Amino acid sequence: MKILIYSFIFLSGLIVACRVDTPHSVLSKDQMAALIADVYYMNAVFEVLPVQYRDSIMKSERTKILEQHKISDSLYVHSLKYYNSETKKMEEVERLARGILLKKIEADSLIHSQNKEGQDSIR
């Protein structure tokens, strides 16, 4: 009887441990995608700066991005580690982030073309 009880407890523990749900202590896919999209965008913008300036500026900008999303640095790092260990989930996050970036690029292009048209009409 004891063996049966211990076996049940052991198997219950295995079932709980093998769940593939996202832990509560990580960002959702949508949150992570929005955050990664902003970080990627920032990296692209500051990539042209000399290295000695780029690192310090990018560090402060990353802090601003985390504050905008109301996310702590430790939660971001923990979530990034989690998604990097879950390949399929990270691929989904990357796909969502690319979609966000494409929308942002389209919006920036539209604003840029409208500004250029406005400047041309002034002349």
**What residue segments make up the domains of the chain, in order of their start?**
26-105
Contact (CB, 8 A) for 27 and 79? yes
Please, is 33 exposed, middle or buried when counting C-beta atoms within 10 Å of its C-beta (0-12, 13-18, 19+)?
A: buried
Is it the case that residue 9 has pLDDT exceeding 90?
Answer: no
- pLDDT tens digits, one per residue of 63-73: 999 999 999 99
- pLDDT tens digits, one per residue of 22-61: 677 899 999 999 999 999 998 888 888 888 888 888 889 9
Is it the case that residue 6 has pLDDT exceeding 60?
Answer: no
Look at residues 82, 86, 62, 81 and name the one whose alpha carbon lies nearest to residue 72: 62
Helices (H) and strands (E) in the chain, counts: 5, 0
- pLDDT tens digits, one per residue of 82-111: 999 999 999 999 999 999 999 988 887 877
pTM here?
Answer: 0.69
